[in-house]
């Protein structure tokens, strides 16, 4: 059967199931089943029976609202291809705005810490784009750590994975070599208020990576002073947040001693991340 016909039928099926990006997902999964790049679909050979059956199985999973990235086993983030799946937060394209901002704040050889690193999207983006960057990726969840270590494996000796909880009062003692020497701290922490509604794909992310108290700021209350200690010698911080708690995030950074605190919006105009600086 012609790939274009398969994709058209699958697009209709996914749209009926409520998938918001039905055509894109149908084409990506068809390219996966055929073993080709998505851009080659218009000129691809007819699908074999085996390929059509494989495609049907993929579409059935997506129609059941399994996240596309879980089906593929990977997510794209800037120049990175990250291993993802059940047990780790799937990075969103909107977070690339924070990553790009962060990369502009530092130069060659910068010391960078990614708190609540998850899959490693932010820290590994910076390791790939900031020359000779020294990056520490901090994550506490064992399931997420498995993906993080896999993603960081090829990043080189200047990238370190640390199994640690940002809320642990003893963590600064484990970071004594970094306190006051870091140039940049980034984080996409759990920030969704408890009980907030989620779409079906977002609900597939681990709760540990999503929720953070009644206002979504419980973890941020520990993260802000930790970031301040790491940046005591001067440097920048950038933290993503929920649509509803940008002002609260900004206030917590100010309370921790950061100046120049600025709230940023994404391309859709939604509050997305907050930045600040620690001056010497």
Q: Which residues are annotated as a binding site for substrate?
A: 188-191
Give the largest CA-CA distance in the chain.
Answer: 66
Give CA–CA dist 206/57, Å, rounded. 24
What is the full DSSP assignment across 147-200? HHHHHHTTS-TTEEEEE--TT-TTHHHHTTTTTTT-SEEEE----BPTT----T
Answer yes or no: are the C-beta atoms of 220 and 212 closer than 8 Å: yes
Instruction: Map tokens 């907050």 to a residue.
Output: 274
Distances (CA, A) of 122 to 92, 131, 215: 11, 15, 24
Q: Which strands, in side-by-side order, build the sheet including 271-278? A: 159-163, 134-139, 111-115, 184-187, 235-240, 271-278, 259-265
Q: What is the DSSP letter of 269?
A: S
Residue 110: HSE in the Cβ half-sphere, 13 Å Cα cutoff? 25
Q: What are phi and psi of 15, to 5 degrees?
A: -60, -40
Tell me how far CA of residue 209 lies from CA of 6, 142, 245, in angstroms.
Answer: 36, 12, 16
Annotated binding site for S-adenosyl-L-methionine: 139, 188
Helix (H, G, I), strand (E, B) or coil at 268: coil
């Amino acid at each position: 059967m012609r790939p274009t016909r398969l994709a058209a039928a699958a697009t209709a099926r996914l749209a009926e199931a409520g998938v918001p990006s039905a055509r894109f997902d149908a084409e990506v999964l068809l390219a996966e089943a055929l073993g080709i790049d998505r851009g080659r679909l218009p000129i691809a050979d007819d699908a074999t029976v085996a390929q059509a059956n494989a495609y049907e199985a993929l579409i059935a999973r997506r129609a059941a609202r399994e996240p596309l990235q879980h089906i593929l086993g990977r997510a794209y983030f800037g120049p990175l291809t990250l291993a993802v799946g059940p047990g780790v937060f799937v990075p969103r394209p909107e977070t690339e705005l924070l990553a790009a901002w962060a990369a502009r704040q530092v130069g060659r050889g910068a010391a960078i810490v990614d708190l609540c690193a998850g899959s490693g999207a932010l820290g590994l983006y910076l390791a790939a784009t900031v020359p000779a960057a020294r990056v520490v990726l901090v994550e506490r969840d064992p399931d997420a750590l498995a993906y993080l270590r896999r993603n960081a494996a090829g990043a080189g000796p200047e990238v370190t994975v640390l199994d640690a909880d940002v809320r642990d009062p003893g963590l600064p003692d484990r970071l004594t070599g970094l306190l006051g020497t870091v140039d940049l701290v980034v984080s996409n922490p759990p920030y969704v208020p408890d009980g907030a509604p989620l779409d079906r794909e977002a609900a597939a992310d681990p709760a540990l990576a999503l929720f953070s108290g009644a206002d979504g700021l419980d973890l941020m209350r520990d993260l802000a002073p930790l970031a301040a200690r790491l940046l005591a010698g001067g440097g920048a911080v950038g933290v993503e947040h929920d649509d509803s708690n940008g002002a609260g995030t900004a206030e917590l950074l100010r309370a921790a001693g950061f100046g120049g605190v600025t709230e940023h919006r994404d391309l859709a105009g939604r509050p997305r991340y907050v930045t600040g600086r620690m001056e010497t």
